[in-house]
Amino acid sequence: MKTVEELENLMTGPSAALIEDMVKIEGNIIILGIGGKMGPTLAVMAKRAIDAAGLDKKVIGVSRFSNGTLQQELESAGIETIAADLLNEEELKRLPVEKNVIYMAGNKFGTTGNEHFTWAMNAYLPGRVAEHFKGSNIVAFSTGNVYPLVPVYSGGCDELHQVAPVGEYGQSSLGRERVFTYFSQKDQTPLTIFRLNYAIDMRYGVILEIARSVYNEKPLDLSMGHVNVIWQGDANEYAIRSLLLASTTPTILNVTGPETLSVRWIANEFGRLFGKKPVFVGAEQENALLNNSSKAHKLFGYPRVSIREMIEWTADWVANNGETINKPTHFQERKGEF
């Protein structure tokens, strides 16, 4: 893989299981907040699955589309687009009420100092959306940040673990879940809460940040010494298929890879591939932000892309100066301050 086009073609290829499930998903799919890092590839994967199944249904993407060429790129891929600010009540009311909703809107980075906007996006807006799409199947993206840090030997938080978010981003994300759940029960709206942490591709994410630290011989902080990751293509597939899990007793689903990964081990793997010695600062703490995604793996199977493939692909991408999205994940953050 040498180009973004090759990467996105790989990432958006639907599995046989997704194509089979797409036949079972009745009605069009509307994606709210399609302009984020995952939305475009999720939409294209859904459209490719629809086409492969020979179905006549739409994928509709909603975003402000305030700059760049994303709207045109999506349209050329066969995805209908609507430019709208979801916080604008009149623009929200004009959106078509489709049978299936994937809700990806939210705010994380820049929360500190702008907490009111994060709460509006993450906890107020979901109520307005839930009222507009009353009765639709909704997959609401959430985050593993609703859980506390847990011992690295624990296997991570499963869906039954008590939530205890650290910081206002995690707290507002739990607010999003609670508001969606309120309207799900009030209006009998089927809901899946999709608790994702650390979807990656070669242009963005934890694996890329570790790779760049090693390649550029920059110190790597080990204080958050263990992580979970999942290939973005696998996370997108899980999200689409989760429309079939939506229930009026909301389904909660953790979404990440199967391993508890050592940051030190990942860095040493990149060191081996780059022929460089990683530079570490700090030391691994006894706890970390870790999710247990065994429920999703039982439902959908293990991710198709393994951690070693992610590492090898990313090493090649970094060594060849591949295009990246310049947005740090702040995965080392232990106080929830984004």
Could you report the per-residue pLDDT of 69-124, keeping only the tens digit for each?
999 999 999 999 999 999 999 999 999 999 999 999 988 766 678 899 999 999 99
Angstrom distance (rounded) from CA 214 to CA 63: 36
Q: What percent of the chain has pLDDT over 70?
A: 98
**pLDDT of 309 above 70:** yes
| Residue 80, H or E segment | strand 80-83
SS3 238: helix
CA distances from 137 to 82, 246, 319 (A): 20, 6, 43
Question: CB under 8 Å to 225, separation ≥6 — which residues?
Answer: 152, 262, 263, 264, 283, 284, 285, 288
| Residue 108: predicted pLDDT | 76
Contact 70, 40 (CB under 8 A): yes
**pLDDT of 50 above 80:** yes
Looking at this protein, which amino acid is placed at residue 67? N
**pLDDT of 334 above 90:** no
- Domain residue spans of the chain: 4-319
Buried b / exposed e along 10-45 (16+ C-beta atoms within 10 A): ebbbbbeebbebbeebeebbbbbbbbebbbbbbbbb
CA torsion 278-291-245-44 (nearest 10°) is -20
Q: Say if domain 4-319 classifies as CATH 3.40.50.720.
A: yes
DSSP for 103-155, please give it.
E-----TT-TT-HHHHHIIIIIHHHHHHHHTTTSEEEEEEEGGGSPPEETTS-
Angstrom distance (rounded) from CA 84 to CA 202: 29
| Residue 338: predicted pLDDT | 62
Q: What are the structure tokens assigned to 71, written together?
A: 């709207």
Average pLDDT (286-299) is 97
Q: Which residue has the higher pLDDT, 66 or 96?
A: 96
Question: CB under 8 Å to 18, separation ≥6 — which residues?
Answer: 45, 49, 237, 240, 241
